[in-house]
Structure 1
């Protein structure tokens, strides 16, 4: 199914594992495991400093709220927490490979220290940083204790056959004392017990990296949830960016329409008016020449009408409004330079805006096929999958289509993204080319 293909393409295919050693055996020696362990070790001192700063400054600021000094002290406390947040995001990026964007900065409409302090205090991101400081400290103590205990215990027991001789040589005992009281003592001193001890240490050593990874996963959730941008602000920024794309696209379309009118139908109509004026002057003197000029003007009228019709179709075709995507795409396919099979399977018509975007997306893709693909045939498939409208355009051309850079496909991808759509391009050199566009399914009111 193309839907499965689209989902697989979007999330990426699983990377092929070229290692011959199982991941469970490699984990204790991988750089990732040591970086995660280093993250846990650094978390304790950093969380102590952050917790101390936060509790001290927040308590002082809350106590001074009866005076004016409480406001700047609280603002300084939140600002300090945001500074620690920069450090924590950098640490997560460097040691955990977790790239978390910075939250939205405090916004103020007025200049001045008072407005700035008010913006800091009203910023939700500032208070999420303070909450991170309070939550991170107990979690850092727990994760540090667990990770260090398991890590040191594992490597110590695993290496026990290498250093157990220290006990009889310097401590006067046979080995590690497993049990002892006034009457009986048990030491790990014979070959069997030493081997079992090393095997237990091996088990701890193999388990510890995965345990530390689970601990740092919680750290990653804390960093992403409390130190990154809120979902609402991220969505606002995305909508602002999409609005810019929509405005730029609309402006470009208006410029194209103006250029087509000026260079095409308008120029042709001006010439037609001049020809009709000359024909009027020659009507009495040379009726035959005037008739020839009128006949020529009649042809120009037909050409101008065809250009205006094509221009209107480029703005919004009447067949799309009247009969929907199936008829409109069939009309486009009939004008393509290669044979195109069209298959539209929709339970109902989507919203006019989505329908128009789908139509012009297919138009541009078929135009690319006509110009660049050197294909012998193409196909267009349109269907609905849950809450998405999917378009698939394929051809058997030379391939090599690329949606990156400044190509037309890149512009098309930007237009689709402005309405929460996705453009997926699979076009290896030599072909075939498959382009899948996903749009949100919305129905007419």
Structure 2
């Protein structure tokens, strides 16, 4: 069996082989694991972890101990800062090692913020940096774990392959060692050797089982390393949250600016243009009032129609900014009003115990409004439904239609912008729209009262 799997690796897993990935995946994962590149990368990570851990632990402990001992003098402070700077360098090395061997891409932590000039400003920033202390903690915690994982990984790896290949090298014992094989038991009276065909086969079978189990043991060991690298060498949760909030703030500002531009454009091209024409028509009617009263009356009548159209456009614009029915009567009435203007029949179900804050209520309204507009323009549907409900501290709304499907937030500016607007308030947009339909779009918003 050892020979069979060795040939399989050369045929299926060797570099540059044709169709290697396709044929290898015909094997079950348990049989494929010992020959996968991931397994060998993780094992190399364990092998390198011990010498690197020794260096990091020795440097960190030496420098920190020296700095702590010198704190009675001024020299201890720069020594401690130097120790933390060295730990940040070790952290960069470990992130690169995890990226190359484990495929774990951890972002670099927030850079050191130095306020002021001179070495003292740098030393103060280094000592106050939480990232530096977390990376010092990593160098201290990683070392004992590296010793344990190295011993366990190497023991299982060497034992499994040694026993699996035992039929190939057991002849060394009778030829050069003066015994029949590996000594399994021995005392003054008895000695048991693995030397007959059955025992050799059982030994190889045990080796096969250990070899097949070793990749999963190594994977479990490196999962702890992944947690250490991700938790101690990456950006802190607070820093990540700050970056997210800054990004969300940018989205909110861009969305508000786009809405202001849309309002300005609608006013300039719509109601404002009509009012200018209305003023010109009334001026002409005034001039013709004495000369041709009938023509003046017709012009006044046309101006009256223009006034009605301009008023309707202003109402639509005001509704697009924030509808009065939403403020007065809530989501149920506002969404029913939107559904009545859709080109397909829409069934609206709103089940809310109370009203959320106006900001969340407004985002929910405009989300449904835009989704119904998409149905009218693109879906080719004959019916649609809108469901709004609350689950714990989340507001959920779902819009479905029986149209042609194919909606994709990644390739549509409308859905992408909608997803960005929801993300700005910690919301989520999920699009399920296979070709041929039906389309189901679910939005999740935080419930705030």
Q: Structure 1 residues 302-311 or 401-410, which shifts more? A: 401-410
Shift of 1:38: 1.1
Give the Cα–Cα distance (whole angstroms) in 2 for the partners of residues 236 and 294 of structure 1: 60
Give the Cα–Cα distance (whole angstroms) in 1 for the partners of residues 232 and 391 of structure 2: 35
Query: Which aligned runs of 4 or more in structure 1 are off by greater than 4 angstroms?
Result: none
Is 1:310 aligned to 2:310, yes or no? Answer: no
- From the superposition, tell whether residues 115 and 405 of structure 1 become closer, same or farther in structure 2 (CA, over 3 Å): farther
Shift of 1:405: 4.5
Is 1:198 aligned to 2:194, yes or no? Answer: no
Note if contact 2:25-2:32 (Cα within 8 Å) is conserved in structure 1.
Answer: no
Shift of 1:19: 4.9
Shift of 1:20: 5.1
Shift of 1:421: 0.8
CA offset digits 1:87-144 (Å, max 9, x no partner) = 2112212222222111111123334433233222211111100000000011101110
Shift of 1:392: 1.7
Query: Which of the residues 37, 45, 65 maps onto 2:43?
Result: 37
Give the Cα–Cα distance (whole angstroms) in 2 for the partners of residues 431 and 110 of structure 1: 60
Q: Aligned runs of 1:97-116 on 2, under 5 Å? A: 97-116=103-122
Give the Cα–Cα distance (whole angstroms) in 2 for the partners of residues 416 and 91 of structure 1: 37
What SS does the aligned partner of 1:391 have? strand
- Number of aligned residue pairs: give it: 426
Shift of 1:373: 2.2
Is 1:383 aligned to 2:389, yes or no? Answer: yes
Q: Structure 1 residues 273-282 or 408-417, which shifts more? A: 273-282
Is 1:408 aligned to 2:419, yes or no? Answer: no
Is 1:358 aligned to 2:364, yes or no? Answer: yes
Residue aligning to 1:300: 306
Residue aligning to 1:256: 262
Is 1:397 aligned to 2:372, yes or no? Answer: no
Residue aligning to 2:30: 24
Give the Cα–Cα distance (whole angstroms) in 1 for the partners of residues 186 and 82 of structure 2: 56
Residue aligning to 1:135: 141
Give the Cα–Cα distance (whole angstroms) in 2 for the partners of residues 109 and 251 of structure 1: 34
What SS does the aligned partner of 2:289 have? helix
Give the Cα–Cα distance (whole angstroms) in 2 for the partners of residues 41 and 137 of structure 1: 13
Shift of 1:61: 2.6
Residue aligning to 1:62: 68
Give the Cα–Cα distance (whole angstroms) in 2 for the partners of residues 303 and 108 of structure 1: 61
Query: Which of the residues 257, 267, 275 maps onto 2:273?
Result: 267
Q: Which runs of 5+ in 2 are unaligned?
A: 1-23
Q: Structure 1 residues 138-147 or 317-326, which shifts more? A: 317-326
Give the Cα–Cα distance (whole angstroms) in 1 for the partners of residues 37 and 65 of structure 2: 41
Query: Which of the residues 213, 226, 232 maps onto 2:219?
Result: 213
Give the Cα–Cα distance (whole angstroms) in 2 for the partners of residues 428 and 22 of structure 1: 31
Give the Cα–Cα distance (whole angstroms) in 2 for the partners of residues 233 and 214 of structure 1: 29
Give the Cα–Cα distance (whole angstroms) in 2 for the partners of residues 64 and 273 of structure 1: 86
What SS does the aligned partner of 2:281 have? helix
- From the superposition, tell whether residues 45 and 234 of structure 1 become closer, same or farther in structure 2 (CA, over 3 Å): same
Residue aligning to 1:122: 128
CA RMSD of aligned residues (A): 1.9
